[in-house]
């Protein structure tokens, strides 16, 4: 029972997104877009492009906050 109390009494730990994780997501989405673009609808292509753009903006924001 004390383990349960200890678990819930801990302060929530703020997780920090690492730049490497974001870069990996960018590479993942870019590779998928490059490989499957011809099979994707225009709206799916646009969605992937917007995801990549948002991830790049997030990467820049985190890098600038860290400096």
pLDDT digits (tens, 9 = 90+) for 25-56: 999 999 999 999 999 999 999 999 999 999 99
Q: Is residue 35 part of a domain?
A: yes
Q: Which domain holds residue 48?
A: 18-66
CA distances from 27 to 7, 39, 48, 64 (A): 36, 19, 12, 21
Q: Is residue 9 part of a domain?
A: no
Q: Is residue 4 part of a domain?
A: no
* DSSP track, the chain: -HHHHHHHHSPPPPP---HHHHHHHHHHHHHHHHHHGGGS-HHHHHHHHHHHHHHHHHHHHHHHHH-
Q: Is residue 50 part of a domain?
A: yes
Q: Is residue 28 part of a domain?
A: yes
pTM of the model: 0.70
| Mean pLDDT value across the chain | 82
Question: How many domains, in total, are found in the chain?
Answer: 1
Closest among 5, 4, 53 to 25, alpha carbons compared: 53
Q: Is residue 12 part of a domain?
A: no
Q: Is residue 11 part of a domain?
A: no
Q: Is residue 6 part of a domain?
A: no
């Amino acid at each position: 029972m004390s383990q349960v109390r200890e678990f819930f009494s801990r302060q929530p730990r703020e997780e920090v997104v690492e730049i490497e994780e974001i870069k990996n997501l960018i590479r993942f989405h870019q590779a998928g877009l490059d490989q499957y673009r011809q099979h994707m609808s225009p709206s799916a292509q646009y969605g992937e492009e917007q995801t990549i753009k948002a991830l790049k903006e997030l990467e820049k924001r985190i890098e600038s906050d860290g400096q």
